[in-house]
Amino acid sequence: MTTLVLGLGNPLLGDEGVGLRALQALSSAADFPPSIDLLDGGTAGLSLVPRLRSADRVLVLDAVSAGKPPGTVMRLDGAELGREGFGKISPHQIGLSDILSASRLSGGPEEIVILGVEPASLSLGVGLSAPVESAIGTLVAAALDQLREWETPISAVGPHPHGSRSATRYARAALGLRTLKCTSSR
C-alpha cells in the first residue's frame, strides 16, 4: 500500500500556508518508509490528480474554512468531499473538493483523510497567525496518529535531543510547542 501525504497552500497568503508548514514539520518529526511519499502540493490544483490516483491512501494537510475558531484542527473524511452538494472547504482557487472529484473520475485512492486548521487570516503576507502557528504541533500529532492508524511503520527521528520522546512529542518540542499529556484507548 502506498500513502501520499499532501501539503497544500500558498505561503504568501498568511494562514493559507499552514499545510506546507505542517508538512515541513512532519518531515522532520519521523523517518518514513518508502511506501509514504510526502509532497508539497502548494497551489498545484488539478495537476495533482495523477499523484492522488497513484496512491492507495491520501492524507491532506491544509487550511480548512469551516467557520470554527481560528487554530481549530479538524479531521474530515475524504469520502464525503467532492460529492455533489458539499461546499468548498479550502480557500484555494480550485478547491480540494474539485481535486478529489477529478481523481475519483478514474479510480482515486481507497481512502482520503483531510487534516485542516481553521485560518485566522488569508491576507497577503508571509507567516502564520498566532492561533494557526500554535496548532501546528497538534496537526503534526494528528497526522502521525492517522499514519499509524493505517498501520504504517513510522519511527521517530533519532537521536532526539530531548531523550527518548515519541515522534509526536519530538515534533512539538522541535517547534517549541507545549507538549500535552495524552492517553490512548488503544
Summarize pLDDT for 126-176 with one digit per residue, the tens. Answer: 999 999 999 999 999 999 999 999 976 777 653 333 333 444 444 444 444
Here the cell at position 50 is: 495523477
The Cα–Cα gap between 90 and 93 comes to 8
| H runs (alpha helix) in 55-156 | 96-104, 130-134, 136-149
For residue 40, list its beta bridge partners.
7
Average pLDDT over residues 102-110: 72
Say yes or no to pLDDT of 4 above 50.
yes
Q: Is 62 helix (H, G, I), strand (E, B) or coil?
A: strand
Residue 88 confidence (pLDDT) above 70: no
Cell of 28: 522532520
Cα–Cα distance, 179 to 177 (Å, whole number): 6
Q: Domain 3-174 falls in which CATH fold?
A: Rossmann fold (3.40.50)
The domain spans of the chain are: 3-174
**What is the structure's pLDDT at 154?**
77
User: Average pLDDT, stretch 27-33?
Assistant: 91
Question: Which pTM was predicted?
Answer: 0.75
Closest CA to 90 of 62, 70, 61, 52: 62
What is the side-by-side strand order in the sheet with 57-63?
A: 36-42, 3-8, 57-63, 111-117, 73-77
Report the mean per-residue pLDDT for the chain: 77
What is the predicted pLDDT for the residue at 146? 95
- State the greatest distance between any 2 C-alpha atoms of the chain, in Å, as a whole number: 49
User: Comparing C-alpha atoms, which of 186, 7, 16, 182 is closest to residue 91?
Assistant: 16
pLDDT of the residue at 143: 96
Q: Which of these ranges, 81-90, 99-108, 124-133, 152-161, has the smallest mean pLDDT?
A: 81-90
